[in-house]
Amino acid sequence: MAASCVALAALSLCLPLLLLVAWKRWRRGRAARHVAVVVLGDVGRSPRMQYHALSLAKRGFSVTLLGFCNSKPREELLQSDRIQIVGLTELQRLTVGPHILQYGVKVVFQAVHLLWRLMCREPAAYIFLQNPPGLPAIAVCWFVGCLCGSKLVIDWHNYGYSIMGLVHGPSHPLVLLAKWYEKLCGRLSHLNLCVTNAMREDLAGNWGIKAVTVYDKPASFFKETPLDLQHQLFMKLGRTYSVFRARPGPLDPATERSAFTEQDPRSGTVMHLHGRPALLVSSTSWTEFEQLILDGESLPSLVCVITGKGPLKEHYSRLLSQKRFRHIQVCTPWLEAEDYPLLLGSADLGVCLHKSSSGLDLPMKVVDMFGCCLPVCAVNFPCLHELVKHEENGLVFEDSEELAVQLQMLLSEFPDPAGKLSQFRVNLRESERLRWDESWKQTVLPLLMDT
């Protein structure tokens, strides 16, 4: 009797799922132009997956973009009638029990929740999945693909286990389990995309996975910012952040001036201020550069804008506030999504401290900077040469001392148009760099058509 009750209960649970699967397979023929794009992270901070969604929509696909909705995505996504954003619930970390139990509960919840969200949507011809994070998303998306006839496309940005290894160490049981899972489930996809040739070779040689390199490319809105728009941005930011405001001094009341630009009240023409500071977009402090100026070097003052956010931002902001710089101002602004490309297009130099946990991915920040023809100083790691060409579009450094030397060299005659910094910018302008959508059309779209 008990066995009969158990069987009946199991049947009652499975029957709705079986009916849903049958209904989805019946509808699949109507969904050949529908794609699900899955990010088990913040959609607003996942530009590459946003770009996938926009390119798919531009080619006539209807797109369901699933992910956490912690920050605002690009306005183009919100306005597109072919893209629907479906929020996933983010389970906050439990505060009781051992760490492995907390992690296990989170994984189970995410698996069930993602499965339910995918099964309740229109069946998709393809499921595009960002990895990392791939646990438990790879297995869930593969399972849904089996039930509904969808083809799984994994976009490898990095290895999830290597990121976990930064926290727990490479030999931790959780890290080893994640690596086994990633290697096993990664082979279940129909198509694999990756961000560098180094990652493609590693996937093939060590994981037995054949992938196609799809380099990150800047979207069309990353470009040099015209002077009038620079002025508008500086005046806007100056209402909140003092580093963008004009220095005190005798001014024509009719002249509108920022720390970098001024607008002629009669003609409306915007010009760079004589003796303006250099504007750097970065994520570091500038103690060595300050000392060079104090030692008498002919260098401009600096306004350093630290972008992005993270768990240590407040900590480093407090440390910077304790510094008594005389020639360097540091600002950590909150930027609207539409203002970030304008800021990059207005800057004089970018500095990138990104170091890959696997040594196989490239910094998206530098891709965006190059889209704005902004020269870069970047810290070295194994595959950086696929993006930054030393002495051509920027400089590569190993430590803070070498960075200080590079800054001294690049800014010693700022803003001389014949200087090396200006030459890097000219090289970036002259290089024929495909934008994301053009590159996607050439590399990804043919793969979808072939399958």
What tens digit of pLDDT does each residue of 92-109 get?
776 777 777 878 888 899
The CA–CA distances, whole Å, from 49 to 77, 141, 224, 302 equal 11, 16, 24, 34
What is residue 14's predicted lDDT score, i.e. its pLDDT? 52
Question: Residue 90 — very low, low, confident or very high, per pLDDT cuts 50/70/90?
Answer: confident
pLDDT at 294 over 80: no
pLDDT at 23 over 80: no
pLDDT at 374 over 50: yes
The HSE-up count of residue 228 (CA atoms within 13 Å, CB side) is 4
Count other C-beta atoms under 10 Å from residue 380's C-beta: 15
What is residue 419's predicted lDDT score, i.e. its pLDDT? 87
Query: Tell me: the pLDDT tens digits for 44-58?
Result: 889 999 999 999 999
Mean pLDDT computed over every residue of the chain: 85
State the virtual CA torsion across 6, 18, 137, 114 in degrees, nearest 10.
Answer: -90
What is residue 310's predicted lDDT score, i.e. its pLDDT? 58
pLDDT at 2 over 60: no
What is residue 87's predicted lDDT score, i.e. its pLDDT? 94
pLDDT average, residue stretch 340-351: 94
The CA–CA distances, whole Å, from 66 to 8, 58, 141, 191, 217 equal 34, 18, 12, 19, 22
pLDDT at 354 over 80: yes
| Closest to 377 in 3D by CA, of 360, 402, 358 | 402
pLDDT average, residue stretch 310-339: 72
What is residue 308's predicted lDDT score, i.e. its pLDDT? 67
pLDDT at 290 over 80: no
pTM of the model: 0.85
What is residue 402's predicted lDDT score, i.e. its pLDDT? 92
pLDDT at 11 over 50: no
What is residue 25's predicted lDDT score, i.e. its pLDDT? 53
What is residue 20's predicted lDDT score, i.e. its pLDDT? 59
Query: Tell me: the pLDDT tens digits for 135-185?
Result: 899 999 999 999 888 999 999 999 999 998 888 888 988 899 999 999 999
